[in-house]
Amino acid sequence: MPDTSPRLEVRNLVRRFEGTCVVDDISLSVAPGQVTCLLGPSGCGKSTTLRIIAGVDCQDAGEVLIDGHVVAAPGHFVPPEARGIGLMFQDFALFPHMSVADNIGFGLKATGSERTARVDKLLERVNLSGFGNKAPHMLSGGEQQRVALARALAPRPRIMLMDEPFSGLDNRLRDGIRDATLELLKEEGSAVLLVTHEPDEAMRMADEIALMRKGKIVQRAAPYNIYNQPADRRAAEFFSDVNVLEGQVQAGLAHTPFGEFLVPGVGDGTNVDIVFRPQHVSLDFDRNGRGPAPTPQHGTPARGIVHRARFMGRESLVEFTVAGGAMVKATVPAVFLPKPGTALWLSIRRDRCFVFSRGQVAPQDLPERAAS
Ligand SMILES: Nc1ncnc2c1ncn2[C@@H]1O[C@H](COP(=O)(O)OP(=O)(O)OP(=O)(O)O)[C@@H](O)[C@H]1O
């Protein structure tokens, strides 16, 4: 049975800078062999969280545990070098005066043949067998990155902390190196906490994503779940382009150009956002002002007038204006570029719509028709 008890545990971590709370009650745990991504926009507190776990910064409150032992808590601090943590940052800076093999072996206690065997194995695993005697400057950026990964993994760290480790690589190299890195990390069984601001990278690498905003974790879930059940509108927007229809609830229903949406348990007058992705809009031709019949899966279709259509490579993006003036974007596979002004009918997958409240409206603020 795999060991699923947390290797890394963070409890109620708080860090303030000049009175501002940049890490605000963060809790998370990572099991051996698991990759958790701290994902969020620039400045939301990802790196500060990582730095506290690494022991290069101190929290104002909360604690960090490794294998159940407290390494950072009020009045208790285990120094970074005694935490068994491997670090990998964007600026991974190999030692320029050392060979590739010496760089990889730098943190190893073992000597002689044991050390050589570990270095050779890692060179092989990062596809750099035969590169051991070269100097770092003789390697490409991607090769240097792989050496840095091998160096971080050489002492078999219990925990790997990675801060935007792939952002210095060009796009062509990045996907291959991400996949190879993930394979190696899984093989080594470290618990990995990876910081990134790129949703694609988190989706590709993570077993679990912890989505951060303004110092807080707003949602923790597996990539599939966080994409398909976002906690709020901004969580949905963080992962892809979305359409948003605004509505107000009356008698448990929100009225939109796409018909009524059931909003059970939400009070009258509540403003709601109905959020859906462009890939969940399907198109149909206009038949003398009529569209397809409503269905339970797609609800009521809405007539849309093409505002703009662009070819994006794999798909086309068509923007429409629908009744009431809302803009709706649809993606269509391959080339589909209708002229501006063309009328088409739009249907949305009801099961792919998210409805989020925007806060209650006081009864006196309701329009007369709704308040009566
Ligand atoms: N030593 C410091 N002194 C004062 N403010 C700091 C310090 N370190 C970080 N901050 C502030 O804390 C906030 C969070 O920074 P942090 O680097 O953790 O964010 P991040 O999510 O990792 O962002 P990025 O993706 O841009 O690296 C930022 O507003 C930053 O300016």
Distance CA 22, CA 142 (A): 33
Ligand 1 centroid, distance to 49 Cα (angstroms): 10
Distance CA 160, CA 147 (A): 15
Name the superfamily (CATH) of residues 8-237.
Answer: P-loop containing nucleotide triphosphate hydrolases (3.40.50.300)
17 lines ligand 1 (CB under 6 A): yes
| Those residues with Cβ within 8 angstroms of residue 1's Cβ, 6 or more apart along the chain or in another chain | none
Say how many CA atoms lie within 13 Å of 57 toward its Cβ. Answer: 19
CATH of domain 242-371: 2.40.50.140
145 lines ligand 1 (CB under 6 A): no
Per-residue pLDDT reduced to its tens digit, 93-137: 789 999 999 999 998 888 888 999 999 999 998 889 999 999 999
45 lines ligand 1 (CB under 6 A): yes
Please report the atom of ligand 1 found closest to the CA of residue 40: 21
Domain range list for the chain: 8-237, 242-371
Pocket test for ligand 1, best of 22, 37, 196 (most atoms within 8 A of CB): 22
103 lines ligand 1 (CB under 6 A): no
41 lines ligand 1 (CB under 6 A): no
**Alpha-helical segments (H) within the chain:** 46-54, 100-105, 112-125, 141-153, 171-188, 199-205, 223-228, 233-239, 368-371
Give one word for 151, left, alpha or beta, with left for phi > 0 and alpha for psi -120 to 50. alpha
47 lines ligand 1 (CB under 6 A): yes
Radius of gyration, CA atoms only, the chain: 26
Ligand 1 centroid, distance to 125 Cα (angstroms): 34
CA–chain centroid gap for 169, Å, is 19
91 lines ligand 1 (CB under 6 A): no
Contact predicate 238/211, CB 8 Å:
yes
Q: Nearest CA to 255 among 369, 131, 103, 170?
A: 369
Percentage of the residues of the chain whose pLDDT score is greater than 70: 95
Phi, psi of 173 (to 5 degrees): -80, -30
Q: Nearest CA to 204 among 229, 232, 174?
A: 174
Same fold, 8-237 and 242-371: no
pTM for this entry: 0.86
Please report the atom of ligand 1 found closest to the CA of residue 215: 14
Digit-by-digit pLDDT tens for the chain (372 residues) are 566 689 999 999 999 999 899 999 999 999 999 999 999 999 999 999 999 999 999 999 999 999 999 999 998 999 998 998 998 887 777 899 999 999 999 988 888 889 999 999 999 988 899 999 999 999 988 888 889 988 988 988 999 999 998 887 777 778 888 888 888 888 888 999 999 999 999 999 999 999 999 999 999 999 999 999 999 999 999 999 999 999 889 988 998 999 888 888 888 889 999 999 999 999 999 888 888 888 888 889 999 999 999 999 999 999 999 988 899 999 999 899 999 999 999 999 988 999 998 854 433 333 333 332
Q: Which residues pair with 255 in a beta bridge?
A: 260
